[in-house]
Each structure stands twice: as C-alpha cells, then as structure tokens.
Amino acid sequence: MTLPAMQDQGSKIVVGIADLRVSNDPADTIVTYALGSCLGVCIWDESAGVAGMLHAMLPSTRTDPERGRTNPARFIDTGIPALFKAAYAMGAHKDRIVVRVAGGASMASNGRKDGFQIGKRNYIELKKILWRNGVIITDEDVGGGVSRTVTMDVATGVVMVKAGGQEYNLARRFPRRS
Amino acid sequence: MTSELQSELLRATTSTFEDLAFAFPEAEIEDHQLEAPLAWGARVAFSGPVNGTLDIQVTDGVAAELAANMLGMHDASDDGMKRDALGEIANVICGNVVPSLGKASDVFDLRSPEVYVVGTDGEETSAGATRLVVGIDGGRAEITVRVMAHVVEGAGA
Amino acid sequence: MAFNVLVVDDSAVMRAMIVRTLQMTGVPLGEIHQAGNGQEALEVLKDQWVDLALVDINMPVMNGEELIERVRENPLIRDLSVIVVSTESSETRIERILNQGAEFVHKPFTAESLRETILQVTGVSDDQRASVGAPPGDDFDF
C-alpha cells in the first residue's frame, strides 16, 4: 500500500520562537507566528530554489554567550550566520540571496513604555551583521506596535505578512520605517 | 530654543548612531559607563545665521566600535580609523542639528571636523552650551553644542 | 556596460561606506575613483571617463556645490550623473542642487536608501543586475 498523493503536496514548515528552518522543496511554505519585538528574517535564492526563515528573540549573545552556542537561533548575531550557512548547505549563494525582514515591533503594554526597545535593538543588530557581511535588505516591514505572522512560499520567495487584520505582500514595500 | 535644540540634538544623535554606525544610544547611563574615561573628541565649527561648534567626546571603546561598525569590520583598533569615523559622526550630527538654529531656508557651512585627544586639564566652560550624554555598550558619548554669536539681522546695512 | 564611479567626500570612512554600498547594489561597476574635495574631483574628471559621481557638499578647498557648477559648465562632462550625499537640510541649497540636475540623499543614509537612488539614477533593472551583489571582504562571518 502506498500513499502517492502525499508526496508532492509539500508541507507547512513552522518556525518556532528562537528557531530557524530551510527548505528546497518548491511545494513547501515556511511560516512563523506572532512576531512582536522578535525579528523574522526570510532569505531566498531563486537559482538554487532555497528558502530559509529565522525567528530570533534577542540581538546579541554578549550577555549570554553559552546560550548562543546551544541555541544560535535565539539571537540575531548567531542566528543570521546559522541561517545563511544552512541555506548554503542546500546550494544557496550569498550574492544571490534576497533578504526580507518583518517584526521588530515596539511592544509597549498597559501604558508602560517599551524601555528596553528590544525590537529596535534586534533591527540594529541585524543591520550591523548584514552590513559587515556585505548583504543588503530587499524588503522590510519593521517597527510599529503590531504583532506579525509571516509566511514564505519556497517556490516564489513571496513573503506574506499578516498584521492588524490585514495580509499583504512584503515585496516593494521598501523603504518603510517607523 | 534651548529645549528644541536639546530634542533635535537627541534626534540627530540617535539617527546618526543607528543608521550610520549600527549603535544603540541609551539615555539611561549606568555607573560603569559614566566612569569610563573619555579618550577622543571631534569638533565641527559651523557658520551661518548663527555661528558655533559641535563637540563629541567618546570613550576609546566607543570610538573603536563606531569605526568597526561603519567599516564593516570586527575590530578597528587603528587610531586613524577611530579618528576618521568619529570625525564623520560629528559632521553628520552637526549637519542635522544646525537647521534647528535657523529657518528652513538658511544656509549653514560646516568646517571639516578636527579630531583631538581628550585632555585631563579641566572642562571648557559650558555656559550657554546644550549638552547630551548617551551610553553606548560599555562606554558613552558626550555631545555639546556651543552657540558663539548671533548675527544681528540688518546689521551693517 | 559597467559604470565608472567617482566618490567625492573628505572623510575616508564615508567614501569606504559609499563604495561598499555601491558594491552591494548589484550595479555592474567598472573603475571606482575617489577624491577628497571638489578640486581633486575635477582633476580625476580631466583624465578619466566617469558615468556617476556621488558628492558631499561640505568639503575643504572646493565644496560639492561649486564642483557641480564647474561640471555643468564644462561641455565635455556636463551630462555626468550626480548624486549628492550630504547632511544638508537647507531648502535653499537643496533646491539649488536639484536645479543642477543632481539627485539628493540625506546623511545619515541607510545602505538600502542609497541603493534605491543609485538604481534609479543608473536605470539598472533587476534583470541587468549581475546578482544582488556582495563586496569583497575578509571579515565575513558567513
């Protein structure tokens, strides 16, 4: 007995908090939920057909280097290299990789100010490591005060963002800052 | 005007550090940041309807971090890189602050930044100066705007 | 075709940042020349063919505004594409710059915002870009 239909339908790959996933199956979609101050970083190499997504919580391992070793996807400064290397392992090349970013919101609650500004720190750390490694962001939807759900289609690299009751394509929203 | 200048100084400093040097300036400064010695300074003189100077002084670690970040390197311990990076930071903050000292149509000219080693022989008088102190990682930056002279409108006519 | 570019700024760090951004745009680049002020830039333009110049305003010896005026007066180089990259905020001066047919990018800029203007001025489409682009470097993590 075989299960023929299941093979080609692809699957929905869920990226948890402090997690990263890559895929080269054009039938797959990659999704991460409820990005607040966390950053969702999507990378895509059209030629290699490789897509990857990181859901990082904090900017830097400086405060907790041990945790950076055990769970690199928790931090931007270890998660970004891990994400790119995972995509390289599937045949992606840096100079073809397109980067799309969502999240980094300012999550003030109950009238309290967002004193630590984790969302902004995450974004600055991302810009720093990308600049150092010669990578530029193609599209982004960052900041503001909303929680975002991000879905990427492996075949087309299209990144859809769901936030505040709306869903939109992240492409060509650049430049947009808040 | 002073409070407007103060808020413009904060805005210009924040955006310059963030966009150009990927550094996050913090308004709340911890003791170890306050105790770290200032090592490098850069001064930009400006002239226009109002003349004056902008100084930025930073700890050695902050100077190295700014240079490394701007140049996309892990480390920039070379003094030449630190000097040039700090000078450019001073230039950009100054260029973004001076419009608040005049009208939107006013033209200000900025001199090239002069970078110096911060001495231990006492502070310059800060009377009439607008000052901002921010923490950056293990160190801090102090930015001071001094307005020297107001050019009286219609003078010499 | 590849674009020959001239970067004019009195800060070596700023010139390095602009060159790095150029290399990340994916625009095909030929020779990249650098100059520390307007006078040095005119010297380069005398001897070298340049397609695009990125120019600061406040510089010693000769500022960027005078440089652009001199370029527009010279029939041999008057059609040079110019992007002014400056802290300038004066409406008067920005209007003068735009009237000289230059684009304007405010400092501090992000690599992304400067790239948009470079792509717009060079007219290089996504199809013509060799790749997304990456600068040469030996300080990479990945």
Q: Tell me what the mean pLDDT of segment C68-97 comes to.
A: 95
Please indicate whether residue A145 or residue A8 has the higher confidence score (pLDDT): A145
Q: Tokens for B53?
A: 């100077």
Would you list the domain boundaries of chain A?
Answer: 12-169
Per the omega criterion (within 30 degrees of 0), is the bond before C108 cis? Answer: yes
Confidence of residue A174 (pLDDT cuts 50, 70, 90): very low
Strand partners, B51: B149
Identify which of A81, A94, A175 has the shortest CB distance to residue C113.
Answer: A175
Counted residue by residue, chain B has a size of: 157
* Tens-digit pLDDT profile for residues B51-66: 999 999 999 999 999 9
Whole-number Å distance between alpha carbons of A60 and B12:
25
β-strands B129-136, B109-110: how paired? unpaired
Confidence of residue C9 (pLDDT cuts 50, 70, 90): very high
- Compute chain C's Rg from CA coordinates: 15
The helix or strand, by DSSP H or E, that contains position A169, with its residue range, turns out to be strand A166-169
Q: Tell me what the mean pLDDT of segment A142-171 comes to.
A: 95
- What's the CATH number where C84 sits? 3.40.50.2300
Name residues whose C-beta falls within 8 Å of residue C68's C-beta, 6 or more positions apart in sequence: C55, C82, C84, C97, C100, C102
Q: Is the pLDDT of residue A41 over 60?
A: yes
Nearest CA to A83 out of A123, A122, A52 is that of A52
pLDDT of residue A172: 61
Q: What is the largest CA-CA distance in chain C?
A: 47
Q: Tell me what the mean pLDDT of segment A45-73 comes to.
A: 93
Q: Is the pLDDT of residue A142 over 80?
A: yes
Q: Tell me what the mean pLDDT of segment C49-74 comes to.
A: 96
| Structural domains in chain B plus CATH codes | 2-150 (3.40.1550.10)
Q: Tell me what the mean pLDDT of segment A121-149 comes to.
A: 95
Q: How many domains does chain C have?
A: 1
**Which residue range is the domain that position C112 belongs to?**
10-122
**The complex's ipTM?**
0.92
Contact C66, C80 (CB under 8 A): no
Q: Given A18, A30, A38, A39, which residue is catalytic?
A: A38
Mean pLDDT: which of B123-137, B139-153, C29-43 is highest? C29-43
β-strands C3-8, C29-35: how paired? parallel
Q: Is C136 among the domain residues?
A: no
Strands (DSSP E) contained in A36-165 are: 39-45, 50-56, 98-103, 137-142, 148-153, 159-163
Q: Tell me what the mean pLDDT of segment C28-48 comes to.
A: 97
Say whether B72 and A134 touch across the interface (CB within 8 A): yes
Give the dihedral sign, CA A92/A94/A98/A100: positive
Confidence of residue B150 (pLDDT cuts 50, 70, 90): low
Q: Is the pLDDT of residue A114 over 90?
A: no
Q: Tell me what the mean pLDDT of segment B99-114 comes to.
A: 92
Whole-number Å distance between alpha carbons of A121 and B111:
33
* Tens-digit pLDDT profile for residues C108-136: 999 999 999 999 999 987 666 766 667 87
pTM for this model (two decimals): 0.92
CA distance C116 to chain A (A): 9
Q: Is the pLDDT of residue A9 over 90?
A: no
Whole-number Å distance between alpha carbons of B86 and B69:
12
CA distance B146 to chain C (A): 19
Find, in chain C, the residue whose alpha carbon is nearest to that of A132.
Answer: C140
Q: What is the mean pLDDT of chain A?
A: 89
Please indicate whether residue C38 or residue B125 has the higher confidence score (pLDDT): C38
Q: Is the pLDDT of residue B152 over 60?
A: no
Nearest CA to C66 out of C97, C43, C111, C109 is that of C97
**Measuring CA to CA, how many Å separate A11 from each of A21, A24, C139?**
13, 12, 37
Q: Name the fold adopted by A12-169.
A: 60s Ribosomal Protein L30; Chain: A; (3.30.1330)
Whole-number Å distance between alpha carbons of A124 and C28:
28
* Tens-digit pLDDT profile for residues B40-96: 999 999 999 999 999 999 999 999 999 999 999 998 889 999 999 999 999 999 999
Is A38 annotated in the active site?
Answer: yes
Q: Is C40 among the domain residues?
A: yes
**Cα angle at A122 between B22 and C132, to 5 degrees?**
70
Q: Tell me what the mean pLDDT of segment A95-104 comes to.
A: 95
pLDDT of residue B157: 36
Q: What is the mean pLDDT of chain C?
A: 93
Any chain B CB within 8 A of the CB of A67?
no
Task: Please state, for a pLDDT cut of 90, what percent of chain A lies above it.
Answer: 78
Say whether B22 and A120 touch across the interface (CB within 8 A): no
pLDDT of residue A177: 36
Say whether B22 and A127 touch across the interface (CB within 8 A): yes
Q: Tell me what the mean pLDDT of segment C35-53 comes to.
A: 97
Whole-number Å distance between alpha carbons of C4 and C85:
18
3-state secondary structure of C116: helix
Q: Tell me what the mean pLDDT of segment A42-61 comes to.
A: 96
pLDDT of residue B52: 95
- Assign 3-class secondary structure to chain B: CHHHHHHHHHHHHHHHHHHHHCCCCECCCCHHHHHCCEEEEEEEEEECCEEEEEEEEEEHHHHHHHHHHHHCCCCCCCHHHHHHHHHHHHHHHHHHHHHHHCCCCCCCEECCCEEEECCCCCCCCCCCEEEEEEEECCEEEEEEEEEEEECCCCCCC
Q: Tell me what the mean pLDDT of segment B6-26 comes to.
A: 96
- Residue from C106, C113, C141 whose CB has the most chain A CBs within 10 Å, to mutate: C141
Partners of residue C14 in chain B, C-beta under 8 Å: 88
Contact A21, A139 (CB under 8 A): no
* Cβ pairs A/B, distance under 8 A: 21
